[in-house]
A and B are shown apart, each in its own frame.
Chain A
Amino acid sequence: MTQTNRLNKGGRIDRQRILNFTFNGQRYEGHAGDTLASALLANGVNVVNRSFKYSRPRGIVAAGAEEPNAVMQMGATEATQIPNVRATQQALFEGLCARSTNPHSELLSTLGNLFAPLIPPGFYYKTFMQPASMWMTYEKVIRKAAGLGRSPRESDPDHYEHIKRHCDVLVIGAGAAGLAAALAAGRSGARVILCDEQEEPGGSLLDSRELLDGRPASAWVESVMAELANMEEVLLLPRTTANGLHDHNFITLYERRAEHLGDLVPEIDGRKPARACLHHVRAGQIVLATGAHERPLVYASNDLPGNMLAGAVSTYIRRYGVVPGKRLVVSTCHDDGYRAALDWAEAGHQVVAIVDARKHNDAATGHWVRLAAKQGLQIIYGSAVIEAKGKNRVTGARVAEIDIPEFQTRGSVTDLACDTIASSGGYNPVVHLASHTGARPVWRDDIMGFVPTKMTGLIPTGGATGIYALADVLKSGIEAGSEAALACGRQSPEIDLPEVDRIEIAQAAPLFQVPHPKTTLRAPKQFVDLQNDVTAAAIELATREGFESIEHVKRYTAMGFGTDQGKLGNINGMAVVARCLKKSIAETGTTVFRPNYTPVAFGAIAGPHRRELFDPERYTALHAWHVDRGAAFEDVGQWKRPWYYPQSTGESMHDAVARECRAVREKVGVLDASTLGKIDIQGKDVREFLGRIYTNKWEKLPVGKARYGLMCKDDGMVMDDGVTTCLGDNHFLMTTTTGGAAGVLEWLELWHQTEWPELDVSFTSVTDHWATLMVTGPEARHLLAEMTDIDLDRDTFKFMEWREGDVAGVPARVYRISFTGELSYEINVQAHYAMHVWKKLFEHGDKYGLTPYGTETMHVLRAEKGFIIVGQETDGSVTPEDLGMQWCVGYDKPFSWIGKRALTRPDTRREDRKQMVGLKPVDQTVVLQEGAQIVFEPKASPIAMVGHVTSSYYSPTLGHGFALAVVKGGQKRMGERVYLPMADGVTQVAEIVSPIFYDPKGERQNV
């Protein structure tokens, strides 16, 4: 039996094209033009999901983004899994494979039904909070039970795009209002983007009963789309949801390019297009033509499959040729509800009754009401469906007379046999986007709905502002489009409105929750938020427990949470709160809707920014050599730096580092130090500027010399360090830490531009222009001498000097500076010469035992010398004095340099500040853990923490582990013992020593 509910004719589907799909493993057929939801309804599938909390059977309710129940786990393979797809928004394709997000579980179903009365709002908070340590365990179980969908465990085989766009006018929604607005804006010559989330543009016009210019509304949609498609400055984006509106008219548009084509993106003309594209749009004006969602009525057991929105019933009949049942009861409080009955009857199925909350006199003037009466449909006035009957599908409707102001039923209850109940309580303007930036929508009594508040650059129109009559919607759309065009400096064009018959509409009645003969707490469940299983009773209970703010009620009950964002239930929920608190809905207010409007695939959010493109990777000019040599790499900022060079024999890191350390201490090593930040500084005031920025003196540094400098923030804390060289009287080269380069440049510019614009100084980042090859070790001079014309004599080219000359036949600057404590020459050449020089070094270096070394060896060697690394020994709370670097502080400089004044604040003068020291573990085999906390008295309780280990290594030169640390008052505690209680229960013991472990007099670099 296939497609039992499909009509023989009508709808916008292609009956010639049959598409096969599976749902929960069962095979079905549908047609091209179907959504997954319309195809399921055509096949008579009643239960599409189980509810979140009570595991109750749920069916399809809506036909669009507001669908709360038919939330699917899509995907034929593990890699193509997509969670939280609404069946109402998923076009059918051949081979589509969907599953319920919450499959049926006997256990949960039984538990849910048995214990439903025991699961009040806040149940999880109340029950699972104690003991707090167990929450992580409970949470896993609860989440699994809650079935929030799952992400794929395999990598997504498709790809995604990002596009940045600018436009004058962005029109969101291509229904009647949006099309009219786009037409007006487009004809003005403005740059327009028109996006629409559905498979086809047209919105409600696709299933409208009304005629435009005497033709079906869909014909007008086609002619407008054709005109827009021919406009050069208009971009049409179908299947595109505006899912987030951010500050200053920045909008993200989620365009699904291939979700309707297949489980995997098919090849088109030999290439695979992106599965989806996220457009980052900056719009001059936004026309919000998002329309309105129909609001269901809240009555007992309104969650049984067969309870639907009246408008959705019409949409399925008129657009998809599907009648989702045999016998219909309509429950409504306004004219539009009648349209479902008219469509149902025209499809040849039985309309049992239309139950209208209004009295006969109040309703009878309405056009659709009169038409229904004329067709002989039974209308029951002054009443409502108070309860649905049935188990897995509606089998009947209980109808009673109601008194809305008194919130009670009157007289006896009538049972009507039916399989479908279509309800409509009016419309909720879709204001979500307008509140994404924090603005609160405003309640309007006349339309019984919230409308967007006024915002710069945002023009709501049509249904989004509570205008529902088609003629008025079109007029409103054209006005909005013209207003937007004018705001962008265009002339608004002349537009003729299509002819629409003006139909009489009777005043609607304000009905949200339908009264029941029993109280709300005792009546069968009346669902407000179907997706989050929130009932009217739960909300009433929340107000009784003292939750009065709508935001608190939301969080306590979970109403409007998650992927639903309160599309269907929020207004009804607020109405229940208002009733319980005896306030108006305007006083109750609304919660804030948040992005995203509907779920967005993470793939689309990530776009191309994944794997190696996730973050820019920076390579030095020698990268290829390092890769070739088999280096292990370490990320330093965005740089890839060689960490160590294991030998091909499978050498361990420990062994490789020990070998590299010994090579430098005993022979010669070379480090690619090109990543050091380099800032070229020129101008006649450079010396003055450096003197203000650095802690030490720069006034008299002669050309040809270099100096180590320490940089503080104005709070006196160390922020960076490096060697700066005097290249000429008005020309210096500053080096910074690898990670600090960009920040230091901005820091220099900040002070120059804001405090000292009178200084003549300018800055250029030259980090990438120069490659830096650090040759270090006792044989460094012999090696370099073979390759350069620079005089390397120890007395003419002294420590902390630099020379210009040829190295390996190319121009170079050679700096005699050292970060290892050994005799060192730092060769700087233009980056594109680097590989040549590097290879020449190895040609000459073999006989000296030249060994490349990485950052790990660099760290060990510098730590043996007590040289700090900013960001390792410092953390923004360490002064030069804490580091014992008073030698680098010019206390008597005339200008009060950055950080100086703060060094005399009482806090920076404290004797018990954490100061840098060396630590020598008492057990020589121990290498302390970096970050380990230090205590003086391990048995005290509570135990006072007095510092931590900042760097710790094994030294192959010393033959034992050693560490740098900060310890309270440490500089006066030399020789004392400290303790390091570890997580495994062991307490390490170490002795406080000088941070300089090797060659304390610095003789080795001065040979």
Chain B
Amino acid sequence: MFYIHCPYCNERRSEEEFHAKGQAHLMRPANPEEASDREWGDYLFFRDNPRGLHQEMWVHAAGCRKFFNILRNTVSYEILETYPMGEQSSVLAEMTAGRERGEPRRAAGAVA
């Protein structure tokens, strides 16, 4: 059972207080009527299923009832970061910066 840091309550709580809500940072097309059937279908039905780092949306259902984002390794189940709605992952940003500096890529299956 996960131990999740709620970025709003600023506390770690057991998974049973939370609901998983699927992939994070999905954008609803701003003008749905202008979206093609394919674009709308992609938005509705297609999700990433990565082996490794995955950004997910969760809600602190039995707590503050706020939605927030989690960066999680789907292999080791390590949660690298939780951050509020509307923000971007600082860990991913740092990794991108690191790659640009020529640092080695973190292995997907690495168990921290």
Contact = CB atoms under 8 A, between A and B. Distances in A.
Interface string B3-37: 10000000000100001010000001001110101
B107 interface: no
Given A439-B111, A750-B59, A901-B35, A247 B44 contact: no
Interface in B16-73: 19, 21, 28, 31-33, 35, 37, 40-41, 43-45, 57, 59, 61, 65-67
B3 A249 contact: yes
Contact of B2 (A247, A455, A902): A247
Contacts of A247: 1-3, 77
A896 B1 contact: no
Contacts of B111: 439, 453-456
B81 interface: no
B14 to A, nearest CB: 7
A901 B32 contact: yes
A250 interface: yes
Interface string A406-443: 00000000000000000000000000000001010000
Contacts of B57: 754
B35 A754 contact: no
Contacts of B3: 247-250, 282
Contact of B66 (A437, A456, A715, A753): A753
Contact of A714 (B44, B59, B86, B112): B44
B33 A896 contact: yes
A246 B1 contact: yes
A876 to B, nearest CB: 13
A754 B44 contact: no
Contact of A757 (B1, B21, B86): B86
A755 interface: yes
A902 B40 contact: yes
A746 B32 CA distance: 23
A248 B67 contact: no
Contacts of A757: 85-86
B37 A749 contact: no
Interface string A226-262: 0000000000000000000011111000000000000
Contact of A754 (B33, B45, B67, B112): B67
A756 to B, nearest CB: 10
B1 to A, nearest CB: 5
A248 B33 contact: no
A754 B79 CA distance: 21
A749 B2 CA distance: 23
B112 A896 contact: no
Nearest to A456: B112
Nearest to B31: A896
Contacts of A901: 32-33, 35, 40
A251 to B, nearest CB: 10
Contacts of A896: 31-33
A746 B59 contact: yes
Contacts of B21: 750
Contacts of B86: 757
B1 A746 contact: no
Interface string A892-904: 0000100011100
Contacts of A246: 1
Contacts of A248: 1-3, 77, 79
A437 B77 contact: yes
Contacts of A348: none
B35 to A, nearest CB: 7
A343 B103 CA distance: 60
B28 A753 contact: no
A270 interface: no
A757 B43 CA distance: 20
A248 B85 CA distance: 24
Contact of B1 (A250, A714, A902): A250
A754 B85 CA distance: 7
Interface residues of A, number: 27
B44 A749 contact: no
A682 B2 CA distance: 35
A242 to B, nearest CB: 15
A454 B78 CA distance: 14
A905 interface: yes
A906 interface: yes
Interface in A441-491: 453-456
B19 to A, nearest CB: 7
A282 B14 contact: yes
Contacts of A900: 32
A715 B44 contact: yes
Residue among A437, A749, A896 having the largest count of chain B Cβ atoms under 10 Å = A896
Contacts of A753: 66-67, 85
A282 B16 CA distance: 13
Residue among B32, B57, B79, B86 having the largest count of chain A Cβ atoms under 10 Å = B32
Contacts of B85: 753-754, 757
A247 B76 CA distance: 9
B65 A749 contact: yes
A599 B57 CA distance: 36
Contacts of B79: 248
Contacts of A249: 3
B67 A750 contact: yes
Interface string A904-943: 0110000000000000000000000000000000000000
A341 B111 CA distance: 44
Contacts of B32: 896, 900-901
A906 B93 CA distance: 40
B64 to A, nearest CB: 11
Interface string A121-151: 0000000000000000000000000000000
A750 B61 CA distance: 11
A282 B13 CA distance: 10
Interface string A749-773: 1100111010000000000000000
Nearest to A252: B1
A248 B73 CA distance: 12
A755 B59 contact: no
Nearest to A755: B28
Nearest to A246: B1
B1 A749 contact: no
Contacts of B2: 247-248
Interface string B70-98: 00000001110000011000000000000
A749 B111 CA distance: 35
Nearest to B44: A715
B66 to A, nearest CB: 7
Interface string A711-755: 000110000000000000000000000000000001001100111
Interface string A786-822: 0000000000000000000000000000000000000
A754 B55 CA distance: 15
13 contacts: A247-B3, A248-B1, A248-B2, A248-B79, A249-B3, A250-B14, A282-B3, A456-B111, A456-B112, A754-B67, A901-B35, A901-B40, A902-B40
Interface of A: 246-250, 282, 437, 439, 453-456, 714-715, 746, 749-750, 753-755, 757, 896, 900-902, 905-906
Given A900-B32, A902-B40, 8 more contacts: A282-B3, A714-B43, A715-B45, A746-B19, A753-B67, A754-B57, A901-B32, A901-B35
Interface of B: 1-3, 14, 19, 21, 28, 31-33, 35, 37, 40-41, 43-45, 57, 59, 61, 65-67, 77-79, 85-86, 111-112
- 10 smallest A-B Cβ distances: which pairs? A901-B32, A248-B3, A896-B32, A250-B1, A753-B67, A247-B77, A715-B44, A456-B112, A248-B2, A901-B40
